[in-house]
């Protein structure tokens, strides 16, 4: 690990100023960043500890809009009464990721910025990685790519986003609040994570020096009918091969609105607006869910070792929507 | 033939602190430090573009201190660490600086749980926790769970149920299980709670225990006995 200096600012403004030092990075829970620093993937000169900026509240306004502070620990968020009651999909997704130890450390903003678990990115012994060394190539495309992307990938990068929380936030249509040298602004969740294209080293639409302060959720629609399904090689403490966040708003026996996003299939949480639209007005049954699954996987492109993900994703969507419709957690 | 004591064995086997820092990297003259610090703090107050050029800020970063003084409160006792390398993890601070070698280094990547300790009552992986981050926090390690010669209920249960073989993961398992029981009193959820549908006050079934202990790997696979030990204390606590 390279030497770095450490600062603990007391408010967002001080943090934004501090991070403009060359090579400085924000430090949240450190579960991902410290690990990557130890393996030499990340080499910050300065760590700006953003755990003391008073961004630890979860609040719900009278109109139902809910705000999640950037530094709320994943454990606290998953178990918060507001989230358990109104957004169980988010609780379930958060609790599907990592372990209690790691969730006790990880923060909302840090989870948003988790970096890929592509083996070739994580291990500096592989010289080719367009994320680590732009222009060096992608070792995964011709390598062992069982865990890699089937949607939205490019010839520069086929990595996936590892977060479970992000998949639920995509289905819940969240908005991200940021503050930076240019002031405050909001970013729609769909626009936050970027597809790789020819610049896979640029992972989000954050501008230099911008600090995530909160995540906002619209009034809850899926509190009674949602499910997060995570399929992985072992039952606990593993990243998703495929995951599905499914939410249904039911009116009698008709779907009034739907939220559907996939994890483990693309470099961003893969929300399918086409699939969501196809569900509106439909009766919640296997036929409608299969149609949505086909639409969500339209354009999927497998690599040598991950063709199984297409069928796995489709079946997972049908299962997650079925469990959501049952209101298993109501 | 007699076996060496664990403590005798441990010393030579212990890895040196990762990334030993050469003196030239840490010896920063007072003048450079003051210059860098005042640049940084002036920038923080007034805004960088107006006061400091990009070059100045780069110079500030290059000369900012890579060590710091901090206080770790471990098992109720305060320890002052002077000029500690900022790269030091909580685990290395405990083992290499405070001689508290109960917390173990397994993977050093947050994947095995052998380093689990409690920070302000919450279990964390001390290998991924920088010591600087927990400056001033209350830390409890395996050494702090017993009261004198009286073992904690979880420690007793691990003995009773033979919940280990080689014992290397055991301090982490016990710290983790200690926190698990406390979390359960607050009705925290796990993914298993969603499957059972018991989302108000989940019962600590074996599946719940397995899921909640999944951050602690046991290479000897003493899992059935670990679950039995946790189950026994959980039942006792609820009775």
Q: How does pLDDT run across A281-296, given as a tens digit for each residue?
A: 999 999 999 999 999 9
Residues 6+ apart with CB under 8 A from B224: none
Q: How does pLDDT run across A208-239, given as a tens digit for each residue?
A: 999 999 999 999 999 999 999 999 999 999 99
Q: Could A101 and B110 be called an inter-chain contact, meaning their C-beta atoms sit closer than 8 Å?
A: yes
Structure tokens at A136: 């060096």
A21 contacts in chain B (CB < 8 Å): 40, 57-58, 60-61, 64
Q: Average pLDDT, stretch A163-189?
A: 98
Tell me, what's the pLDDT at B238? 55
Q: Could A84 and B40 be called an inter-chain contact, meaning their C-beta atoms sit closer than 8 Å?
A: no
**A305 versus B44: which is more confidently predicted?**
A305
Q: Is the pLDDT reported for residue B60 higher than 80?
A: no
Closest-CA distance, A299 to chain B, in angstroms, reads: 32
Tell me, what's the pLDDT at B59? 66
Tell me, what's the pLDDT at A279? 98
Q: What number of helices (H) and strands (E) belong to chain A?
A: 13, 12
CATH number for A226-326 (one of 3.30.390.50, 3.40.50.10490, 3.20.20.140, 3.40.309.10): it is: 3.30.390.50
Q: Is the pLDDT reported for residue B16 higher than 90?
A: no
Is the ipTM, as predicted for this complex, more than 0.85?
yes
Instruction: Return mean pLDDT, chain A.
Output: 97
Closest partner CB to B65 (pick from A5, A35, A51)? A5
Closest partner CB to A24 (pick from B18, B61, B215)? B61
Domains recognised in chain B with CATH numbers:
19-65 (no CATH), 67-144 (3.10.20.30), 153-238 (1.10.150.120)
Q: Give the pLDDT band (50/70/90) at residue B63.
A: confident
Tell me, what's the pLDDT at B6? 36
B96 DSSP assignment: I
Q: Is the pLDDT reported for residue A52 higher than 90?
A: yes
Q: Average pLDDT, stretch A309-313?
A: 98
Give residue limits of the domains in chain A. Answer: 5-51, 226-326
**B34 versus A97: which is more confidently predicted?**
A97
Q: How far apart (Å, rounded) are the C-alpha atoms in residues B94 and B103?
A: 8
Q: How far apart (Å, rounded) are the C-alpha atoms in residues A267 and A263?
A: 9
Tell me, what's the pLDDT at B57? 62
Percent of chain A whose predicted confidence (pLDDT) is above 90: 99
Q: How does pLDDT run across B193-207, given as a tens digit for each residue?
A: 999 999 999 999 999
Helices (H), chain A: 12-18, 33-38, 74-79, 81-86, 88-96, 100-105, 108-112, 119-122, 165-171, 189-192, 273-279, 286-296, 308-326
Half-sphere exposure of A281 (CA within 13 A, CB side): 2
Question: Could you tell me which chain A residue has the CA closest to the CA of B188?
Answer: A79
Residue B56 sits at φ, ψ, to 5 deg, of: -60, -45
> Would the CATH topology of A5-51 be identical to that of A226-326?
no
Angle between helices B170-185 and B153-160 (to 10 degrees): 130
Percent of chain B whose predicted confidence (pLDDT) is above 90: 72
CATH for the stretch A5-51? 3.30.43
Q: Is the pLDDT reported for residue B163 higher than 90?
A: yes
Q: Average pLDDT, stretch A119-136?
A: 98
């Amino acid at each position: 690990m390279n030497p770095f200096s450490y600062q603990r600012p007391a408010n967002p403004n001080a943090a934004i100023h501090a991070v403009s030092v060359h090579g400085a990075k924000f430090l949240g829970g450190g579960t991902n960043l410290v690990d990557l620093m130890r393996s030499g993937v990340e080499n910050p000169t300065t760590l700006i500890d953003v755990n003391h900026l008073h961004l630890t509240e979860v609040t719900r306004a009278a109109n139902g809009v809910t705000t999640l502070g950037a530094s709320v620990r994943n454990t606290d968020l998953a178990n918060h009464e507001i989230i358990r009651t109104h957004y169980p999909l988010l609780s379930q997704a958060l609790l599907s990721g990592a372990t209690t130890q790691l969730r006790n450390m990880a923060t909302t903003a840090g989870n948003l910025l988790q970096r890929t678990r592509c083996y070739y990115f994580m291990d500096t012994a592989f010289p080719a990685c367009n994320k680590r060394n732009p222009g060096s190539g992608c070792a995964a495309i011709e390598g062992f790519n069982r865990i890699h992307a089937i949607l939205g990938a490019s010839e520069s990068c086929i990595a996936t986003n590892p977060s479970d929380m992000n998949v639920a936030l995509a289905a819940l249509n969240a908005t991200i609040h940021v503050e930076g040298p240019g002031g405050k602004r909001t970013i729609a969740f769909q626009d936050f994570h970027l597809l790789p294209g020819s610049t896979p080293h640029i992972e989000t639409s954050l501008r230099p020096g911008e600090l995530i302060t909160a995540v906002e959720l619209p009034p809850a629609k899926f509190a009674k009918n949602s499910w997060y399904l995570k399929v992985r090689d072992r039952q606990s403490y593993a990243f998703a091969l495929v995951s599905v966040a499914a939410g249904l708003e039911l009116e009698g026996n008709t779907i009034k609105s739907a939220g559907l996003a996939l994890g483990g299939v693309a470099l961003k949480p893969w929300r399918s607006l086409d699939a969501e639209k196809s569900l509106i007005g439909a009766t919640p049954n296997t036929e409608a869910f299969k149609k949505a699954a086909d639409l969500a996987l339209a354009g999927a492109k497998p690599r040598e070792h991950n063709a199984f993900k297409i069928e796995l994703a489709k079946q997972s969507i049908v299962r997650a929507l079925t469990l959501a419709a049952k209101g298993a957690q109501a | 033939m007699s076996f060496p004591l664990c403590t005798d064995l441990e010393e030579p086997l212990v890895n040196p602190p990762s990334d030993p820092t050469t003196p030239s990297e840490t010896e920063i003259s007072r003048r450079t430090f003051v210059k860098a610090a005042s640049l940084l703090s002036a920038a923080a107050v007034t805004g960088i573009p107006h006061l400091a050029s990009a070059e100045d800020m780069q110079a500030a970063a290059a000369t900012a201190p890579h060590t710091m003084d901090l206080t770790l409160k471990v098992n109720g006792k305060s320890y002052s660490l002077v000029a500690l390398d900022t790269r030091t993890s909580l685990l290395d601070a405990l083992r290499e600086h405070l001689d508290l070698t109960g917390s173990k280094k397994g993977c050093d990547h947050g994947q095995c749980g052998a380093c689990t300790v409690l920070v302000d009552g919450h279990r964390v992986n001390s290998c991924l926790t920088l010591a600087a981050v927990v400056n001033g926090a209350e830390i409890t390690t395996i050494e702090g769970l017993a009261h004198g010669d009286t073992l904690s209920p979880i420690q007793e249960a691990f003995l009773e149920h033979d919940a280990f073989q080689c014992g290397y993961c055991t301090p982490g398992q016990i710290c983790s299980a200690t926190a698990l029981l406390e979390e359960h009193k607050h009705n925290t959820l796990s993914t298993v709670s969603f499957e059972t549908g018991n989302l108000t006050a989940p019962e600590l079934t074996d599946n719940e225990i397995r899921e909640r202990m999944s951050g602690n790997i046991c290479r000897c696979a003493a899992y059935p006995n670990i679950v039995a030990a946790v189950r026994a204390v959980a039942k006792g606590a609820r009775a």
